[in-house]
């Protein structure tokens, strides 16, 4: 307890002189005071600047002390040296709003972030810098990473945003979940970690750096834990605090998968269990998940919604009772914070699956945690002179070691139901996207098959592979009716096959298996046949050792089987390439671009044709409820409003999986409490209010499959 007294003295002497952030084995120390900090992740580009103040206020009302965010390099530097800190990427504004609300910020610079974000946040152009190899002891990578990290740190410093400067940032992060990669690659990984730690430390931010999920994080970096539970984690040095940087409040959704949820009783249990075991910092990942607008979703097949079953839902509304129950937990932790920061717990074991943790510093205050780990049975526990009742899988927190202020499984917060109420339908016009001809000037002829990203540099999801195939009139299949079998092997992620401009089929992969094979008998004619393959990416990999080397697109082989000659290999013949769609080149999703072509309307609107652009205009509904498009019935494509990308839609990709009953008790994993099996993985697509004008908003969709837009409705989200 000597340490504590010393700190109290410290506090009086130094706090008036200079704001400081440091740490010891118990906690982060801000201005001489140890703190138990509750934090939540809100990623600024996953909402709009107009939403930020309300999200931050709801985080504060929910009892958070800190808001944590990643920094999204590929959003900030879309091409080398060309920076973007505007709009949703206005990082300084976001941090200043956190400060104005009286909260702290935890800035995870990365700059690799994972985050179900395209390419894990690294710019695609970075891959093509000569000699580049990501996240290892590689000079080009280290130079680029240092340059961007310095840029961000200097920007924060010049705005006085670090705590010692009077700002809100109390902590940063370098790299992200590097442990598993280092384990994989060995020595160069170790050298890189050391370099990253040293580089970051040298930037002299005046606040601690963390390295999450990295057991060997070099001093003075604090290694921290990410997971559903972290009570068993201990930092790598006895003088570092025990921190939980990502407590997963739910899980992401993939196209083709159901919607994961996590019961709040179990989240509160994970928090209480962590805190009673010396934990002093908990960050909810996510506190507000938000939306992967445009083409920012990454990791393959990640949905546009990044709701995450977070305490604040995708639309910015409270997800009750999750938000309220955690607020009650946070106010309880605040109540007992003086005891928690001043003593180690004394642990006793009153029965099987039962524990009592008592924090009783000399000052006379006292806090106790009574735990019942049994997943099936409730428990009666005697403590002091009182009997306490604990539901299964729950922890009670006692103020003054007497009053039960909170039990993780006893929810007092209200439950609310949300619904989507239709407020508008549309009259559509159409524009047909044609398969290009290899004669067009913007096609590129090459021998053989090329990896998709190498050709598109991710300027578009779409890459055409075009070839011509000569068929002799003497082929036997003309007489026996056995059309040849076309087989196309692709590294992913989706593929539309056209033969002589007629759609022959569509195939797609999944997050677990992005590779795909098209194999179908195709109707060919005598003479020249056009084979047009539209390969579609659905977000780039965000995780895995050297994920930058993962392939996308058609790498072959491509064969035609059942000709007189046997099987013809088309893999090494001439292929022409065209990046993107005509409609993208014309900017059909923008106001100017959309008026550059003739759209069909009325009775001649395109009927069930693949690759069709649809547009309409609409007025914003009155009120301020959040809005969304109900895309049920549509195939796959993208949506824009007034030129802003809402994201990829794919309601035809239905949720496969197991949606069995969900109990809050017992160890949770992301497959445990799934919902909406058999329904679209994502049906509703958020359109932020601030993107709308009162009248004449331009809504454009590009539909790949040929579904009719007649059922699309604008809906309000109401409680």
Contact (CB, 8 A) for 118 and 540: yes
Residues 192-251 contacting ligand NAG, CB under 6 A: 238
Tell me the C-alpha distance between 450 and 447, whole Å: 9
DSSP letters for 633-653: T--SEEEEETTEEEEEE-TTS
**Cβ(73)–Cβ(35) under 8 Å?**
no
Segment interacting with ligand NAG (CB under 6 A) among 60-68, 343-351, 368-376, 531-539: 343-351
| Closer Cβ to ligand NAG, 25 or 215, answer by number | 25
> Is residue 475 within the footprint of ligand NAG (CB under 6 A)?
no
Binding mask 541-570 for ligand NAG (x = CB under 6 A): ------------------------------
* 438 Cβ neighbours under 8 A, 6+ residues apart: 445, 466, 467, 468, 576
Which of helix, strand or coil describes residue 617? strand
Contacts of 484 (CB under 8 A, 6+ apart): 477, 521, 522, 524, 560, 561, 562, 563
41 vs 456, which CB is nearer to ligand NAG? 456
Smallest separation (angstroms) from ligand NAG to the CB of 128: 9
Instruction: Say if CB 543 and CB 299 are below 8 A apart.
Output: yes
Smallest separation (angstroms) from ligand NAG to the CB of 530: 23
Least distance CB 551 / ligand NAG (angstroms): 9
Rule CB under 6 A: which of 699-718 touch ligand NAG? none
Nearer of residues 238 and 602 to ligand NAG, judged by Cβ:
238
Number of neighbours of residue 68 by Cβ within 10 angstroms: 26
Please state the closest distance from residue 531 (CB atom) to ligand NAG, in A: 21
Nearer to ligand NAG by Cβ, of 314 and 355: the residue is 355
- Please identify, using beta-carbon distances, which residue of 278 and 291 lies nearer to ligand NAG: 278
Closer to ligand NAG by Cβ: residue 454 or 564: 454
b/e sequence 144-157, b meaning 16+ C-beta within 10 Å: bbbebbebbbebbb
**Which has the closest alpha carbon to 120: 426, 548, 639, 524?**
548
Exactly one of 62, 63, 345, 651 binds ligand NAG (CB under 6 A); that residue is 345
Judged by CB under 6 A, which of 183, 344, 477, 478 binds ligand NAG? 344
C-beta of 183 vs 344, nearer to ligand NAG: 344
Site string for ligand NAG, 25-44 (x = CB under 6 A): x-------------------
Confirm if 278 and 242 have CB atoms less than 8 A apart: yes
Of the pair 25, 54, the CB lying nearest ligand NAG is at 25
Q: Count of CB atoms within 10 A of residue 523's CB?
A: 12
Q: Which of residues 50-109 bind ligand NAG (CB under 6 A)?
A: none
Question: Min. distance of Cβ 357 from ligand NAG in angstroms?
Answer: 6
SS percent in the chain: helix, strand, coil, step 5: 20, 30, 45
Residue 568's alpha-carbon distances to 273, 472, 553, 557, 678, in angstroms, are 64, 13, 21, 11, 40
Number of residues that bind ligand NAG (CB under 6 A): 10
Residues labelled catalytic: 177, 246
**Part of the chain binding ligand NAG (CB under 6 A), chosen from 208-216, 361-369, 404-412, 446-454:** 446-454
Neighbouring-strand partners of residue 630: 684, 713
Report how far residue 327's alpha carbon sits from residue 406's, in angstroms, rounded to the nearest whole number.
11
Query: Hey, which residues between 454 and 473 contact ligand NAG (CB under 6 A)?
Result: 454
What size, in residues, is the chain? 719
One residue of 228, 252, 450, 575 binding ligand NAG per CB under 6 A: 450
Work out which of 31, 176, 193, 278 binds ligand NAG, going by CB under 6 A.
278
Please pick, from the candidates 12, 143, 347, 528, the single residue that binds ligand NAG as defined by CB under 6 A: 347
Q: Return the H-helix or E-strand segment holding 585.
A: helix 582-586
Residues 348-377 that bind ligand NAG (CB under 6 A): none
How far is Cα 509 from Cα 256, in angstroms, rounded to an integer? Answer: 9
Binding mask 297-336 for ligand NAG (x = CB under 6 A): ----------------------------------------
We find the least distance from the C-beta atom of residue 212 to ligand NAG, in angstroms, to be: 20
- Give SS3 for 67: strand
Out of 451, 475, 625, 679, name the contact with ligand NAG by CB under 6 A.
Answer: 451
DSSP code string of 479-539: HH--PPEEEEEESSSEEEEEETTEEEEEEE--SS---EEEEEE----SEEEEEEEEEE--S
Instruction: Tell me how far, at minimum, the Cβ of 195 lies from ligand NAG, in Å.
Output: 27
Instruction: Write down the least CB distance from residue 20 to ligand NAG, Å.
Output: 23
DSSP assignment letter at 169: E
Find the shortest distance in angstroms from Cβ 315 to ligand NAG: 39
- Residue numbers of the site for ligand NAG (CB under 6 A)? 25, 238, 277-278, 344-345, 347, 450-451, 454
């Amino acid at each position: 307890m000597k340490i504590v007294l010393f700190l109290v003295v410290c506090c009086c002497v130094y706090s008036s002189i200079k704001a400081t952030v440091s740490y010891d084995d118990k906690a982060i120390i801000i201005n001489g005071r140890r703190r138990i900090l509750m934090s939540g992740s809100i990623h600024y580009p996953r909402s709009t600047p107009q939403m930020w103040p309300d999200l931050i206020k709801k985080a504060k009302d929910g009892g958070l002390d800190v808001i944590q965010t990643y920094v999204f390099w590929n959003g900030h530097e879309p091409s080398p040296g060309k920076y973007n800190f505007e709009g949703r990427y206005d990082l300084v504004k976001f941090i200043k709003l956190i400060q104005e609300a009286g909260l702290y910020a935890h800035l995870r610079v990365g700059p690799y972030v994972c985050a179900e974000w395209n390419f894990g946040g690294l710019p695609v152009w970075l891959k093509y810098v000569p000699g580049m190899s990501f996240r290892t002891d590689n000079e080009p990578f280290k130079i680029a990473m240092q340059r961007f990290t310095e840029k961000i740190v200097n920007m924060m410093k010049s705005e006085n945003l670090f705590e010692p400067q009077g700002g809100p940032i109390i902590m940063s992060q370098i790299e992200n979940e590097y442990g598993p990669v280092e384990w994989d690659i060995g020595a160069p990984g170790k050298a890189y970690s050391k370099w990253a730690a040293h580089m970051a430390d040298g930037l002299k931010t005046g606040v601690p750096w963390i390295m999450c999920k990295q057991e060997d994080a070099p001093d003075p970096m604090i290694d921290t834990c990410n997971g559903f539970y972290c009570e068993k984690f201990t930092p790598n040095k006895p003088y570092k605090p025990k921190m939980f940087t990502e407590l997963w409040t739910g899980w992401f959704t993939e196209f083709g998968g159901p919607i994961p949820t996590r019961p709040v009783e179990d989240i509160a249990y994970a928090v209480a269990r962590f805190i009673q075991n010396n934990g002093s910092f908990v960050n909810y990942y996510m506190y507000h998940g938000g939306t992967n607008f445009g083409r920012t979703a990454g990791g393959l097949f990640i949905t546009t919604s990044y709701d995450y079953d977070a305490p604040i839902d995708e639309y910015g509304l409270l997800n009750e009772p999750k938000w309220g129950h955690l607020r009650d937990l946070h106010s309880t932790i605040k109540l007992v914070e003086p005891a928690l920061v001043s003593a180690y717990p004394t642990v006793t074991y009153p029965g099987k699956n039962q524990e009592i943790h008592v924090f009783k510093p000399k000052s006379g205050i006292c806090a106790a945690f009574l735990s019942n780990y049994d997943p099936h049975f409730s428990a009666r526990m005697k403590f002091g002179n009182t009997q306490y009742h604990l539901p299964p899988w729950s922890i009670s927190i006692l103020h003054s070691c007497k009053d039960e202020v909170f039990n993780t499984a006893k929810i007092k917060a209200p439950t609310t139901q949300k619904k989507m109420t239709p407020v508008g339908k549309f009259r559509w016009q159409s524009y047909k996207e044609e398969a290009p001809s290899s004669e067009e000037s913007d096609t590129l002829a090459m021998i053989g098959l090329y990896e998709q990203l190498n050709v598109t540099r991710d300027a578009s999801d779409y890459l055409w592979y075009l070839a011509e195939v000569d068929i002799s009139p003497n082929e036997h299949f003309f007489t026996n009716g056995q059309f040849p079998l076309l087989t196309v092997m692709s590294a992913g992620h989706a593929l539309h096959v056209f033969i002589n401009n007629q759609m022959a089929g569509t195939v797609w992969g999944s997050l677990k298996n992005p590779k795909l094979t098209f194999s179908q008998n195709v109707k060919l004619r005598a003479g020249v046949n056009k084979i047009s393959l539209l390969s579609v990416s659905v977000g780039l990999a965000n995780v895995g050792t050297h994920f930058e080397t993962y392939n996308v697109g058609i790498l072959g082989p491509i064969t035609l089987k059942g000709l007189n000659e046997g099987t013809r290999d088309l893999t090494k013949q001439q292929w022409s390439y065209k990046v993107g769609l005509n409609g993208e080149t014309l900017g059909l999703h923008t106001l100017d671009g959309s008026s550059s072509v003739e759209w069909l309307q009325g009775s001649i609107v395109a009927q069930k044709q693949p690759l069709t652009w649809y547009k309409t205009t609409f007025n914003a509904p009155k009120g301020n409820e959040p809005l969304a498009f109900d895309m049920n019935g549509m195939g796959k494509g993208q949506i824009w409003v007034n030129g802003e990308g809402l994201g990829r839609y794919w309601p035809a990709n239905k949720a496969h999986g197991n949606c069995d009953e969900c109990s809050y008790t017992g160890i949770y994993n992301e497959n445990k409490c799934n919902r909406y099996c058999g329904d679209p993985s994502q049906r509703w697509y958020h359109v932020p209010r601030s993107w709308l004008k009162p009248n004449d908003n331009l809504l454009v969709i590009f539909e790949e499959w040929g579904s009719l837009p007649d059922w699309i409705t604008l809906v309000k989200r109401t409680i």
